[in-house]
Structure 1
Amino acid sequence: MVGFGKKLRQRRIHGWEEYYISYKMMKEKVKEFASHVQSDRRGNRKQVLREFSVMLDHQVEKIVLFLLMQQGQLASRLSQLADVREAAEDSEQGIGATQTAALQQAYESVGKDLLKLLQFVDMNATGLRKILKKFDKHVGYRLTDEYVASRSNHPYSQLQHIFRHVGIGAMVGTLSHNLAELQNHEEHIVTSVYEQSSRIWQDPLIESIRKAEDRLTNSTNFLRFLGNQALNERDDLPQLSEAEIEADQYHFMSLFLNLLNTFFYMVNTYIVVPTADKYAASLGAAPTMCGAIIGAMAVAQLVSSVYLSAWSNRSYLGPLIFSAVILCIGNVFYAIAYDFNSISILLLGRLLCGFGSARAVNRRYISDCVPAKFTLQASAAFVSASALGMATGPALAGLLEVHTSQFGITLNANTLPGWIMAGGWFLFLLWLWLGFKEPSHHDPITPSSHSSDINRGGNEWFKPLAIYSLDREDSLSDQEQSQAATSISEAYGLLTPSVKVQLFIYFMLKFAMEILVSESSVVTAHYFQWSIHSVAMFLALLGLTVLPVNWVIGSYASNIFQDRQLLVAAEILTCLGVLVSFDYGLMMPYSVTQYISGALLMFISAEVLEGVNLSLLSKVMSSRLARGTYNGGLLSTEAGTVARVVADGTITLTGYFGESKLLNLTMLPTLVIGLLSIAGTLVTYNSMF
């Protein structure tokens, strides 16, 4: 891939060159400001920020005025076409086949010009983001937050026309229904953009325009909202239909098996939750040992996510086969621990199950092997499979209240989850071996060594560091700026403060959800004497709320509120759910109503938070984290897994103080972490765009 400056020169539309952001000039200004700041020859911080902000304002104004002029011309053409069509339809002869074809061609011409305009806006929006990041990095003053906040929220904001432009959506709607009606003219089918008829989106040109518009406006309908949660964003702008990847370039059965792996793993994770405390007690351990039993899987997943992701550089089938085999063995160990009366074998089984976690591979397969036109649906299916598995696991456990023995092996509510999952993974392994098709692989990009270049440039050593690094960044942009991160530390270095806060938010919500779910069997048994069946149904109902909640947020709330507004609201409600869940002792006797109310508020708010957080994260994370072993999906997986490990460890440790104190002692750190996440969000709020 080429650097942005070169890409901008290559992709500029002929005749529009003077209206693009003057990226090269702005880059030189960044160098100049960096030099002056280091030598103390440029005034104070406010003066530097003001001068560069004014330069950016002139660039934004130039772009926006040209954008408005082009929008006006396109709108005028659409209006003229509407008059021509109305006159033809009102004539005695009506609109004939020749006129229909001519009108359709004219509308398609407008559509192609609209797509060009969207690409123009995309390049300039990217240029603005990149130049702001360069300024922050090389001058050393934080401008992005202040500039975006002051310009975006102003009543006369021009910046909003670039990042959340107005008017283009109306033209897309006009093009959509007119083309659909002209294509179906002989059938006399009248379409409306408000009915969201599938016919409207059948035209390849309209589909390309819609995708380009969605990219710019961060549209979050339900499908896109779910898809963004999988962190599989592509770094390319949708082009015309001839550039689309054909559907037959991927293997549907392989994708289905990949999603099935996701579903089974989530079932495997949560099927033991309703019985883990009783299983521990039957082996002579404390019921609160359930935290360690459930969390052992997450501990091993910290390691497996990295090595299986690295393995997927060479193969996808290999990691998936390994996952199925190790999960099959792990579940057998989990089941036979009862007859061996060994808590160690039980924990070993759960650790082995965690070593079989292939979620990072599942995410990466969708990102790398599914055509761009189907990536959104596949990503949404990944999230849906996870949610369905989360609900199915506890529900299945609630159906296993039997006690028998076959061939000297005990089959009861404690052991059957292991035996059932072992059998399920064995059947999955056979299906995988017969049905999965290994996709072609490209050699991963490896870091280039530039030490010889540095050694040759003798005088380069005496340049100010910021200027030197900026020059190096430009000279290496073809390779280093576009290559994937090669280590966790390098990937962490690519994270901006707002992205770090969002990963912490992801940690917080996973911590809260794990505390609630993992201790549910112990807490409900202590306070309400719930049976395994009651706990299983309660957890299954919690899990089933995932998709409806995401549907409401993705289809409605995200179109009314900004992601960052929903983020803050969900964090506050999660903390409120934690406060409701506390046992206030003599002040308020603890009741089933209080527990369920707090649990629902806490869990649903965390679900909202997860969807919005990952949707926002997928839009602002560095493009270098969209590929390679150490990608954004791996980082989010690791953040969530660490949260689960810490949460389950907290349950086990606080269990030593007694079951009566377990609830409050686990809810207290949950509340503290939640408040810290709110504080971090408010600090970086203006950079979340």
Structure 2
Amino acid sequence: MVAFGKKLKERQIQEWQGYYINYKLMKKKVKQYAYQIEIGALERRQVLKDFSKMLDNQGVDEFEREVGEDGGSSGESEALVIEKIVLFLLEQQGLLASRIAKLGEQQESLSEEPDISKMSELRESYRAVGRDLLQLLFFVEINAIGLRKILKKFDKRFGYRFTDYYVKTRANHPYSQLQQVFKHVGLGAVVGAISRNLGDLQDRQGSYLSIYDQPALPLQRPLTEWATQRTSFIFLAQHAFIMQEELPTPTEEHADDDRYHFMSLLLNLVNTFLYMVNTYIIVPTADDYSLSLGAATTVCGIVIGAMAVAQIFASVYFSAWSNKSYFKPLVFSSIVLIVGNTMYALAYDLNSIAVLLVGRLFCGLGSARAVNRRYISDCVPLKTRMQASAGFVSASALGMACGPALAGLLQTDFKIYKLTFNQDTLPGWVMSIAWLIYLIWLWISFKEPSRDIEEKHLRQGDNADQEQSDAIEKGLAQPLLLGSQDNQQDEDADQECDGSEEAPEDSRLAATSIASASFCGQKSRGVTPQARAGALVQLLIYFMLKYAMEILLSESSVITTYYFSWSTSAVAIFLACLGLTVLPVNIVVGTYISNMFEDRQILLASEIMVCVGILLSFHIIIPYSVPQYVCSGLITFVFAEVLEGVNLSLLSRVMSSRLSRGTYNGGLLSTEAGTIARVIADATITMAGYLGDSRLLNTTLLPSLVICIASIIATCCTYNSLY
């Protein structure tokens, strides 16, 4: 496995080599600090001050003379400071803008007297600018990753909270240059100008040429992909929590095209859609179904939550199963869901609440969302992975809206032989038929991806992991004092891994349990305390938003019936409208809000708004009204959805890279956190039901409020590490 420093050096653009962050040199500086502190030559306060200056714009030349050249050119030995990155970025951005302005003038002159040859030359000139722009984007991204990593390494080595201090003092300053490195929004204008002018050029050419005379514009795709990744598209894709490659590459593909099959991807997305429909189709009628079987209306919490309980276990075995196959788990999922929905429908005629609950448990055992995520991550080429991730989220959102809406349409009551078909049982029958049709389609059309290439990579990874494990053991036995032999090893390979290194970051060993995946096990020793705290806070936020949303959705039928005497159709319309807000809200936030504010600012603001929505939902003294309920529910739901996208984006940054593969991956961890939140929320509704319908609302909202306030406090405590 190639160490990060070597990987970074290999992916540098040679012409700009002197402007990259010298990760290896800065790593040596961190080790020298450790030695100087050990012998008493420096105090910790001096180390913080000196390292801050080194990162900003001072103290580099002295250290270079101290450690000497590392075998490369003078440009390679320079430890790049933030000011140097930013000034180079602005210089290149200005050059690109100037070139585009000149090309724009040429394009205007051609609008009066079209010339095919000159237009072709102009198009090639735009492509050249675009290629240079992609190189610049790649340059900025690599430096941002390198800076994050050296800050993490410094914190791990000394046990400081230097990242917190550095980001707080630099990023929040009015003359901050750190912002330019981590949020290069200005380049979006250059992307837009190139894409717009190329499109305009193509339209003008098409006005007098046949469409067959218009060549493809290969440049527009990568530029558009980057532009959308900085805006609405990636904001949608973040909800899927499908982890990307750690270091970006402008040209290489990380998934073999031979493994990709569009129909198989479509079947995974349909599975996602149907499962979300299956989850929410019973929400408007669950209370009425429970009452018809002789149970209290609030037992709907257990009925709805039973699916989530089973999903906790299903996510683990489906994630493990997807290591060997994608087709078989999808087939098993469909069969189990057919059985579960049939049992749910038959419970009415059997007059058995037990059959009803077992049917919902079976539905939960058929949750194949872990397989759907893994298929996108493993088998979809990088060039379309972002679109597939956004499709995963869109399918989920659409299913969430269609489920209640479909329930509202199933308002009938008739019998065939001894089987009853009414608003309570029809959701089960309809979903059974839907899953049967899906199973037939799956059997005919799904193509199992080849495992040969993947197994080869895994074998190579296992050998590399073993080598890294040996290196770790040797490193742990070495003293802190760095001898000449250690320095030589560092210069040659940059792959040593002593006790202070981020072992999981370098070795990328997959997590072997939920405990190690969640940074609670001994194998998480390579994760800094700040990163561990940040990850746990993000998981708490994810738990909170799922808990608040589940309380709102699951008790909606009971609350609206008690206070407003809403019919099943009215509840279904309300829930469907909530679900339909997901896509437009995320597009607006991703397109505009995320370009004006940092992710951590959006995160904190969204948490506060969720808290406001919960507070507005309480019934205190004055009569409870429909506008109050609808407005508070809309605020809670919308900002919880916004919060989910930002939360998962930040979680992917602070979470260890070892969670990008294996059974216990980041997607599974976030799914488990959200599913447990839903289970607890549904159990809360049922338990609160024993206090009576009049107290149900306030009793269930109180835990949501407490957890929300706790998450806001935790976010404020870790705010400066969320960068």
226-235 or 27-36, larger mean C-alpha shift: 27-36
- Is 1:51 the equivalent of 2:12? no
Contact 1:303–1:355 (CA under 8 A) maintained in structure 2:
yes
Q: 1:134: how far off? A: 0.6
- In the other structure, the counterpart of 1:553 is 589
**1:234-280 deviation line (CA, Å, top 9, x unaligned):** 21666566869797862222112111111111111111112222222
Distance 2:385 2:441 in 1: 24
What's the CA shift for 1:181? 5.0
2:333 pairs with 1:331: no
Tell me if the contact between 1:400 and 1:416 (Cα under 8 Å) persists in the aligned partners.
yes
1:220 is aligned, of 231, 240, 246, to 231
Match of 1:417 among 414, 427, 435: 427
Aligned residue in 1 for 2:8: 8
Deviations 1:459-510 (Å, cap 9, x if unpaired)?
9525249999973489998995334333322322266432322221111111
1:138 corresponds, among 139, 146, 157, to 157
Tell me the residue number matched to 1:151: 170
Pairs within 5 Å for 1:468-479: 471-472=497-498
Give how far 1:147 is off: 1.0
Partner amino acid for 1:504? L
> Matched residues in 2 for 1:628 and 1:283: separation?
43
Corresponding position of 2:141: 122
SS in 2 for 1:204: coil
Evaluate the alpha carbon distance shift between residue 182 and residue 243 of structure 1 in structure 2; reply closer, same or farther with a 3 A threshold.
Answer: farther
SS at match of 2:497: helix
Superposed CA deviations along residues 211-255 of structure 1, whole A, max 9, x for unmatched, are: 45666xxx122x222122112242166656686979786222211
Q: Relative to structure 2, which stretch is displaced further, 122-131 or 25-34?
A: 25-34
For residues 367 and 435 of structure 1, what CA distance do their matches in structure 2 show?
Answer: 20
**Structure 1 residue 671, shift from structure 2 partner:** 0.6
Mapped contact 1:111–1:209 kept (Cα < 8 A): yes
Question: For residues 320-339 of structure 1, what are the alpha-carbon distances to aligned partners after superposition, in whole Å with 9 as ceiling and x for unaligned?
Answer: 11111111111122222223
Identify the match of residue 319 of structure 2 among 297, 309, 329.
309
Conservation of the 8 A alpha-carbon contact between 1:229 and 1:618: no
**Residue-by-residue CA offset, 1:373-418 (whole Å, 9 max, x unaligned):** 2222222221121112112222222233333332322333222222
Matches within 5 A, 1:620-659: 621-659=655-693
Indicate if the aligned counterparts of 2:311 and 2:367 stay in contact, CA closer than 8 A: yes
How far, CA to CA, are the matches of 2:405 and 2:92 in structure 1? 57
Cα separation, 2, equivalents of 1:72 and 1:528: 61
The answer as to whether partners of 2:545 and 2:643 remain within 8 angstroms in 1 is: yes
CA distance in 2, matches of 1:455, 1:253: 44
For structure 2, the residue ranges without an aligned partner over 5 or more in a row are: 58-80, 487-494, 520-526
Q: Report the equivalent of 1:481.
A: 507
**Within 2, Cα distance between the matches of 1:143 and 1:532?**
56
Using the alignment, how far apart are the partners of 1:167 and 1:547 within structure 2?
26
Contact 2:123–2:198 (8 Å) recurs in 1: yes
Q: Does 1:267 align with 2:303?
A: no
Residue number in structure 2 paired with 1:195 = none
Asked if the contact 1:212–1:237 (Cα under 8 Å) also holds between the matched residues in 2, the reply is no
1:582 aligns with 2:618: yes
What is the rounded CA distance, in whole Å, between the counterparts of 1:569 and 1:18 in structure 2?
40
CA distance in 2 between partners of 1:352 and 1:593 (Å)? 38
Residue matched to 1:342: 352
- The residue that corresponds to 1:203 in the other structure is 217
User: How far apart are 1:588 and its partner, in Å?
Assistant: 0.8
List runs of 5+ in structure 1 lacking aligned partners. 191-199
Task: Name the SS of the counterpart of 2:518 in structure 1.
Answer: helix
How many residue pairs are counted as aligned between the two chains? 669
Query: 2:379 is matched by which residue type in structure 1?
Result: C
Aligned AA for 1:631? Answer: N
Structure 2 residue identity aligned to 1:543: G
Contact 1:3 1:477 in 2 (8 A): no
Are residue 61 (structure 1) and residue 83 (structure 2) matched?
yes
Question: 1:510 maps to which residue?
Answer: 546
SS of the counterpart of 1:404? strand
How far is the alpha carbon of 1:103 from its aligned partner? 3.8
- Give the match for residue 379 of structure 2: 369
Are 1:71 and 2:81 an aligned pair?
A: no
Of 533, 547, 564 in structure 2, the residue corresponding to residue 497 of structure 1 is 533
Report the identity percentage. 56
Q: Distance between the aligned counterparts of 1:525 and 1:500, measured in 2? A: 38
Distance 1:670 1:354 in 2: 24
Partner residue, 1:426: 436
Could you give the per-residue CA deviations for residues 90-146 of structure 1, whole angstroms, max 9, x where no partner exists? Answer: 8xxx57444444444444333333322222222211111110111111211011122
Matches of 2:22 and 2:314 in 1, distance apart? 46
1:40–1:180 CA distance, 2 compared to 1 (3 A):
same
Aligned to 2:25: 25
Deviation at 1:209, TM superposition (A): 4.0
Match of 2:240 in 1: 230
User: In 1, distance between residues paired with 2:505 and 2:643?
Assistant: 36
What is the one-letter code of the residue matched to 1:12?
Answer: Q
The alpha-carbon distance between structure 1 residues 210 and 452, as it changes in their structure 2 partners (threshold 3 A), is: closer
Report what 2:34 is aligned to. 34
TM superposition score normalised by structure 1: 0.88
User: Structure 1's 648 and 599: CA in aligned 2 closer, same or farther, altered over 3 A?
Assistant: same
| Kept after mapping to 2: 8 A contact 1:135/1:141 | yes
- Structure 2 Cα separation of the partners of residues 55 and 163 of structure 1: 18
Cα distance change on mapping 1:347 and 1:160 into 2, 3 Å:
same
Q: Which amino acid aligns with 1:461?
A: A
In 2: Cα distance, 1:452 partner to 1:125 partner: 28
Residues of 1 paired with 2:342 and 2:607: CA distance? 40
- Report the CA distance shift for 1:188/1:620 in structure 2 as closer, same or farther (over 3 A): farther
Q: Provide the C-alpha distance between the structure 2 equivalents of 1:461 and 1:409, rounded to a whole number of angstroms.
A: 72
**Please, which of 179, 184, 187 is the counterpart of residue 168 of structure 1?**
187
Distance 1:5 1:201, change over 3 A: farther
Corresponding position of 1:680: 714
1:236-255 to structure 2, matched below 5 A, reads 250-255=260-265
1:104/1:456 CA distance change after superposition, 3 Å: closer
SS at match of 1:489: helix
C-alpha change, 1:546 and 1:340, in structure 2 (3 Å) is: same
Distance 1:659 1:187, change over 3 A: closer
The structure 1 residue matched to 2:579, chosen from 543, 563, 571, is: 543
Report what 1:197 is aligned to.
none
**Other structure's SS at 1:405 match:** strand
Given the superposition, is the C-alpha separation of residues 8 and 400 from structure 1 closer, same or farther in structure 2, using an over 3 Å criterion?
closer
With over 3 angstroms needed to count, the CA separation of the structure-2 counterparts of 1:470 and 1:41, relative to structure 1, is: farther
8 Å contact kept, 1:118–1:213: no
1:610 maps to amino acid: E
Q: Is the Cα contact below 8 Å between 1:573 and 1:605 reproduced in 2?
A: yes
Residues in 1 aligned to 2:496 and 2:604: alpha-carbon distance in whole angstroms: 35
**Match status 1:383 vs 2:398:** no
Query: Residues 136 and 144 of structure 1 are in contact (CA less than 8 Å); yes or no, is this contact kept in structure 2?
Result: yes
Q: SS of the residue aligned with 1:485?
A: coil
State the secondary structure of the residue aligned to 1:398: helix
Equivalent residue for 2:696, pick from 638, 652, 662: 662
- Distance in 2, Cα, partners of 1:166 & 1:508: 31
On the 8 A contact 1:263/1:388 being kept in 2, the answer is yes
Distance in 1 (alpha carbons) for counterparts of 2:650 and 2:141 = 18
- 1: CA distance, partners of 2:47 / 2:308: 48
> Shift in Å at residue 37 of structure 1?
4.6
Q: 1:604 aligns with which of 618, 623, 638?
A: 638
CA distance in 2, matches of 1:565, 1:383: 23
Match of 2:47, as an amino acid? V
**Counterparts of 1:189 and 1:379 in 2: how far apart (Å)?**
39
Taking the aligned partners of 2:678 and 2:311, their CA distance within structure 1 comes to 10
